[in-house]
Chains A and B, each alone.
Chain A
């Protein structure tokens, strides 16, 4: 009954993060009951850990790091969860201990990345969503055309370019 890994990957390629709702609901109670019951985790922390585990699973698929899975999806999620839990325990159960894992190997300064996040808000819609869909959710130009009702891939690409240039300008303006 549980979905195959390849089906989940396909869903994610097709729907991006919108595929996560089903996935999230599917393993949620089992995961949280297991973490609380078996490992004695606090329920709120268990929820945070579950959310992070789903996110890690998603990012690993999107980045191409995870292409095949020998175990079941559930087993994989649970093993991320267990590691995250031990990590949290080591760091004294603080939810903050659920640090974001590495995003860029070049060690760009955290403040600079946060500035991008702030400027993305200033940039406004639909630019913000367009960039997020493209870079994070790995949407193809064709998918962007469908999502945003653009004329064709070229016009989507054009918009993406404009949005990036605006963002660059925003980053510069307030230096």
Chain B
């Protein structure tokens, strides 16, 4: 059933893109005459595709505007911008070295955590409007903080968003984890895994990472086995850790 509907979508999209062969197109148009559901799908998809283009354009324009705001005003020489960046880079490096030296790496779980934990990349496109204006601003600020690795600030902002979808929760979990608040990260990832379905592969992996951080070897092992069983993108990492744990 599911496959059938997906197949329909494929052909509808190819039809709208003008990518059907002459013969396919004739056959499809023939079907359209008799199949009301299919007609409906074509009409919906036309609107949705165009709407997504419009929304994306606005979002992209918005991100260019945000970029503009970070750049020095036109009269200023580009050099000041670079020196600034170098300074920032130096500071980050220094913090990194200090953290590395001071970091108490003890157990094998902690070592594995340090080696394998990376925050999930920000794949969220900037928002423009819609929903609650307040939420859009918060979102944009939260993801900017996330990009800049200011996790404490990002947590604050994510928490203030009133409509928390799985994407928000998932990134909130990442912030907690990056910020060393694993006890808070854990329930968030559990929620993403149990109550939604889009970020499951990822949430399962980060859940395992939480257990590692908590030095709960037994639960970490169980979770990692699930990751391996699901055959997700994290499978190899998970297997490597499992091998080292046991």
Contacts and interface: CB of A to CB of B under 8 A. Distances in A.
Interface residues of B, number: 56
B189 to A, nearest CB: 14
Nearest to A100: B57
B74 interface: yes
Contacts of A119: 51, 130
Contacts of B53: 103-104, 135-136
Interface range for A: 35 or more
A97 interface: no
A121 B131 contact: yes
B165 A136 contact: no
Interface in A121-154: 121-122, 124-129, 131-133, 135-137, 145, 147-151
Interface stretch (A53-61, A69-77, A85-93): A53-61
Interface in B65-80: 65, 67-68, 71, 74, 78
B48 A171 contact: yes
A68 interface: no
B49, B56, B74: most-surrounded residue (chain A CB, <10 A) = B56
Contacts of A79: none
Contacts of B170: 125-126
Interface stretch (B95-103, B175-183, B198-206): B198-206
Given A106-B46, A150-B201, A159-B198, A121 B54 contact: no
A117 B230 CA distance: 34
Of the listed residues A59, A115, A117, A137, the one surrounded by the most CB atoms of chain B closer than 10 A to its CB is A117
Contacts of B197: 162
Given A25-B71, A51-B65, A126-B198, A121 B52 contact: no
Contacts of A167: 48
A41 interface: no
B6 A161 contact: yes
A132 B168 contact: no
Contact of A124 (B55, B67, B167, B230): B167
B44 interface: yes
B47 interface: yes
A113 B198 contact: no
B54 A103 contact: yes
B61 A51 contact: yes
A103 to B, nearest CB: 5
Interface in A145-175: 145, 147-151, 155, 157-159, 161-164, 167-168, 171
Given A116-B54, A125-B166, A149-B233, A43 B44 contact: no
A116 B18 CA distance: 22
Given A51-B61, A51-B64, A164-B48, 15 more contacts: A55-B57, A59-B57, A108-B46, A112-B47, A119-B51, A120-B51, A121-B131, A125-B124, A125-B167, A126-B198, A132-B55, A136-B53, A136-B60, A150-B201, A171-B47
6 contacts: A17-B63, A29-B74, A58-B60, A113-B47, A125-B124, A147-B123
Interface of A: 17, 20-21, 24-25, 28-29, 32-33, 43, 47, 51-52, 54-55, 58-59, 100, 103-104, 106, 108, 112-122, 124-129, 131-133, 135-137, 145, 147-151, 155, 157-159, 161-164, 167-168, 171
